[in-house]
């Protein structure tokens, strides 16, 4: 039975950053589902805008050409962790954004400041609208998009472990050998970490979790425990302020 002084859980904003293949998506989705939070895959948004640029024959090697049309596509993200969706101008692009072509070009598109400004504004609006809270995964969430997040996690793993995980995710024709996947992954991480505008980086107040030797379930449990601790502390503060 509900007690009279029972308050709703405090809204909790969780930022999960890290390079590719560290288990960010699987972890973020599972944590959000377990805790009744929304979920946002910000990489999917950068992939979606890249897909639109390719489809509209924008010269990906020309940052000015990308910047000029960065506000054109309408990108909508569905934030239910059990079935996240992404559309561009009403078209479901959840499949097409995972192709090799998009993957190989997304770093160049996402390095353009006008693209980042546009997508960052979208991300902040989605987080602000999440009633219970949200788990947002990406590269610059803790440092730039949501610097006031209640909990910031930075996931890492060895290049070998990350390449093995990514290879396992690739299907059919696109499944390449491990060495090629490792090369592509390292190249993309270097581009994402080296760009001028909000590069992949660990926030000073982020909790670093090395997932190399951990199972997915162990990583999920670790993050859920950390969120519950922070949420408990936030509820305590709210009660004390009343
Ligand atoms: O997480 P992912 O591999 O789907 O991300 C695709 C690309 O999007 C990644 O190479 C860098 C970019 N990205 C970014 O610049 N900032 C984010 N917050 C998320 C992704």
78 burial (CB, 10 Å; 0-12 / 13-18 / 19+) is middle
pLDDT tens-digit profile of 13-41?
A: 999 999 998 999 999 999 999 999 999 99
CA of 120 to the centre of ligand 1 (A): 12
Contact present, 220 and 233 (Cβ < 8 Å): no
Contact predicate 70/110, CB 8 Å: no
pLDDT of the residue at 178: 82
- The string of pLDDT tens digits covering residues 64-76 is 999 999 999 999 9
Under DSSP, is residue 152 helix (H, G, I), strand (E, B) or coil?
strand
CA of 5 to the centre of ligand 1 (A): 43
The secondary structure of 200-221, three-state, reads CCCCCCCEEEECCCCCHHHHHH
pLDDT tens profile 180-236: 888 888 998 899 999 999 999 999 999 999 999 999 999 999 999 999 998 887 777
Would you kindly state where each structural domain of the chain is located, as residue ranges? 9-231
Q: Looking at the whole model, is its pTM more than 0.85?
A: yes
Residues having CB closer than 6 A to ligand 1 are 20, 42-43, 46-47, 106-107, 110, 138-141, 188, 192
Per-residue pLDDT at 184: 87
Fold of domain 9-231: Rossmann fold (3.40.50)
Q: Rounded to the nearest whole angstrom, what is the distance from the C-alpha of residue 237 to the centroid of ligand 1?
A: 34
Q: How confident is the model at residue 54 (pLDDT cuts 50, 70, 90)?
A: very high
- Which pLDDT belongs to residue 179? 85
């Amino acid at each position: 039975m509900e007690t009279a002084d029972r308050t709703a859980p405090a809204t909790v904003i969780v930022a999960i950053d890290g390079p590719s293949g560290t288990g960010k998506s699987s972890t973020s989705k599972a944590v959000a589902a377990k805790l009744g939070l929304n979920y946002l895959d910000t990489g999917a948004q950068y992939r979606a805008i890249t897909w639109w640029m390719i489809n509209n024959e924008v010269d990906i090697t020309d940052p000015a050409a990308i910047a000029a049309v960065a506000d054109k596509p309408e990108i909508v993200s569905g934030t239910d962790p059990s079935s996240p969706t992404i559309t561009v101008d009403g078209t479901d692009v959840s499949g097409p954004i995972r192709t090799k072509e998009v993957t190989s070009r997304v770093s160049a598109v996402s390095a353009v400041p006008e693209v980042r400004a546009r997508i960052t504004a979208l991300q902040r609006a989605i987080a602000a609208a999440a009633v219970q809270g949200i788990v947002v995964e990406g590269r610059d969430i803790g440092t730039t998009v949501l610097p006031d997040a209640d909990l910031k996690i930075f996931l890492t793993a060895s290049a070998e472990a990350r390449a093995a995980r990514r290879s396992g995710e690739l299907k059919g024709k696109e499944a390449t050998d491990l060495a090629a996947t490792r090369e592509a992954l390292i190249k993309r991480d270097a581009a994402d970490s080296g760009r001028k505008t909000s590069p992949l980086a660990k926030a000073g107040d982020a909790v670093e979790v090395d997932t190399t030797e951990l199972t997915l379930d162990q990583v999920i449990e670790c993050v859920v425990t950390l969120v519950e601790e922070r949420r408990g502390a936030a509820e305590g503060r709210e009660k004390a302020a009343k």
